[in-house]
Homo-oligomer: A and B are copies of this chain.
Amino acid sequence: MKITIAQLNYHIGNFEGNLQKMLHAISEHHTTTDIICFSELATCGYPPRDFLEFNDFISQSDDVIAKLCEASAAYDLAIVVGAPSTNPVIEGKDLYNSAYFIADGEVQYVQHKTLLPTYDIFDEYRYFEPATEWGIVEYKGHKIALTVCEDIWNIANENPLYVTCPLDEMMQYDPDFIINVSASPFSYKHPQMRKDIVRANVERYKIPLFYINHIGAQTEIIFDGGSLVGAPQVGIADELAYFEECIRTYELSDIKATTKANENSASKMDLIHDGLVLGLKDYFGKLGFKKAIIGLSGGIDSAVTTVLAVRALGAEHVRVVLMPSQFSSDHSVSDAEQLAQNLGIQYDIIPIKGMYDAYMKELEPLFEGRPFNVTEENLQARSRGVLLMAMSNKFGNIVLNTSNKSEAAVGYGTLYGDMCGGLSVIGDLYKMEVYALAEYMNKDYEVIPVNTITKPPSAELRPNQKDSDSLPDYEILDEILLHYIEGRKGPKEIIDMGYDEALVKRILRLVNINEFKRYQTAPTLRVSPKAFGMGRRMPIVAKYLS
């Protein structure tokens, strides 16, 4: 019995595109396999979110299943694919999140998902009814346990989130192996967690597990692939590539017998770098855009963003604009120019003085001699934002946002100014991680001018401004933010770790009162276990630590 894992890049709602991609894989591999496996909700892409509430959307997914049934007959193979299915009972949610087993022109079996992740970026209980029945499917003399993603994450019922263990239920039928169709999103911690889970499952059940993941990005969510073959004797018998499509076929008896393990090796920065490149590439590709534009300040955030954009889109599709003000230092322009030259990308210099003066000419009479403050700082940032958006509108380049997670956290940025753009590329990297990524990019040769990395960070919106005028050192700031955002610790717990009380209270307050800014910023490519955006939902009008 041969089993093929097809790790493919789907596109939400692109039923025809997703179908063609699956049919192509089938036509390429049908002669060398018995079962080809696609991933969770592969017909419609993941996460389809509220499109699932449209009957028309579900009916288009059903049409894809019908076409796959035809293909199973025409190519004489079995197909495992994830798709929504309609709950025939009036009570409960209208849909299940299901794994279909298709063979001989028909749907032979449908197993619904039991454990519906409803935390962080996940909203599955919003749409789906959980399974309450479990079975297996028999094919060519083999008994197969079908599972969907989270269903294998409650080993021995020890995951505190859940009270059911679907595989424990299925084991009464004595399956020969397990298939898991997944859409398991990337964070730099996730490939390891995923392998630990697959390992623990094969240890417990002593049968192979074929784990098929998505790859590709859908707005802010990146899927890294890394599909897995779990084998009883070795844990992980094989791991497919990260961040690219990959199709591979396995002989079941070989996997049962294998004593050879095979895992990818990738550092945190390998993963983040490649994940962000894919995130960028798919955001543009799936929206039908090719070209990016970035405001290049000479600082590290815009430099790292630009390098990522060039790697994702190609130098010919990335354009940058240097927009110096009276407060810009000489090295800002020269560092930015150097980077543009290193990358071979088009750049223009547009000083913002004319715009700034035009605003101030009208505003000064109304400002009645009030002193220079954040207003005038923001005016500079917003003049730049408007220029970038004008270039975007005229030439069709998407503006990339260059904010990092530290500044997004404490609100150290200007709404509609430097916080503008269609996609936040490094908004899930704390400042110290941005530095680490810059060093990583420079590991073979100096792409990013070393001066951009070594100079003290500055917004350059008033004379001799430094980030350290307003914020603690990023080493400290990032640690406190990590405890609060990822760790969900309260002020007392963080202070008890030894941080300065006043500083902790100030930082937590800044995070909370700046929710209004984050609410209006671009989607942020998620690379950590807790990113701003759909995975962290906070009220704006609140009075907690603020």
Q: Are A416 and B348 in contact (CB under 8 A)?
A: no
Query: Which residues of chain A from 43 to 66 have any CB-CB distance to chain B below 8 Å in the complex?
Result: 45, 47-51, 53-57, 59
Q: Is A136 an interface residue (CB 8 A)?
A: no
The one of B163, B416, B520 that contacts A91, using a Cβ cutoff of 8 Å: B163
Asked if A303 CB lies within 8 Å of chain B CBs, one says no
Rounded to whole angstroms, the CA-CA distance of A303 and B375 in the bound complex is: 26
Nearest-neighbor residue (CB-CB) of A490 within chain B: B56
A497: interface (CB < 8 Å):
no
- Interfacial residues of chain A within 345-367, with CB under 8 A of chain B in the complex: 348, 350-351, 354-355, 357-359, 361-363, 366-367
**A200 partner residues in chain B, CB cutoff 8 A:** none
Pick the contact of A93: B53, B161, B363 (CB < 8 A).
B161
Asked if A374 lies at the interface with its beta carbon under 8 angstroms from chain B, I say yes
Give the CA-CA distance A367 to B395 in the complex, in Å: 9
Q: Which residues of B contact A382 (CB under 8 A)?
A: 385-386, 389-390, 416
Q: Are A51 and B119 CB-contacts (below 8 A) given A56-B492, A350-B362? A: no
Asked whether A542 lies within 8 Å of B50 as measured between CB atoms, the reply is: no
- Report yes or no: A92 in contact with B162, Cβ–Cβ below 8 A: yes
Report yes or no: B386 in contact with A366, Cβ–Cβ below 8 A.
no
Closest-CB distance, A48 to chain B (whole angstroms): 7
Instruction: Tell me if A541 and B286 are in contact (CB < 8 A).
Output: yes
Provide the residues of chain B in CB contact with A348, threshold 8 Å: 366
CA distance A54 to B536 in the complex (A): 12
Given the contacts A354-B361, A359-B355, A543 and B11 also touching, CB distance less than 8 Å: yes
Convert A406-439 into 0s and 1s, putting 1 for each residue whose CB lies closer than 8 angstroms to a CB of B: 0000000001100010100000000000000000
Bound: A20/B327 CA distance, A = 49
Tell me, in angstroms, the Cα distance from A430 to B519 when the chains sit together: 23
For A393, what are the chain B residues with a Cβ–Cβ distance below 8 Å? 373-375, 378
A216 to B541 CA separation, bound complex (whole angstroms): 11
* Chain B residues closer than 8 Å to A357, beta-carbon distance: 358
Cα distance, A522 to B517, chains bound together (Å): 9
In Å, the complex CA distance between A56 and B491 comes to: 8
Whether A51 contacts B375 by the Cβ 8 Å rule is no
Shortest CB-to-CB span from A289 to chain B, Å, is 10
Give complex CA distance A232, B51 in Å: 42
Determine the chain B residues whose CB is within 8 A of the CB of A543 once the complex forms.
Answer: 11-14, 17, 286
What 1/0 mask marks residues of chain A from 511 to 524 whose CB sits below 8 Å from any chain B CB? 00000100111110
Q: Does A123 interact with chain B (Cβ within 8 Å)?
A: yes
In-complex Cβ contact of A13 among B283, B287, B519, B542 (8 A): B542
**Residue among B55, B126, B363, B390 making CB contact with A490, cutoff 8 Å:** B55
Q: For the complex, is A480 an interface residue (Cβ under 8 Å from B)?
A: no
Other A-B pairs beyond A12-B542, A123-B537, A286-B542, 11, CB < 8 Å: A11-B542, A13-B542, A49-B539, A56-B491, A59-B490, A118-B123, A118-B125, A119-B126, A287-B540, A389-B416, A422-B516
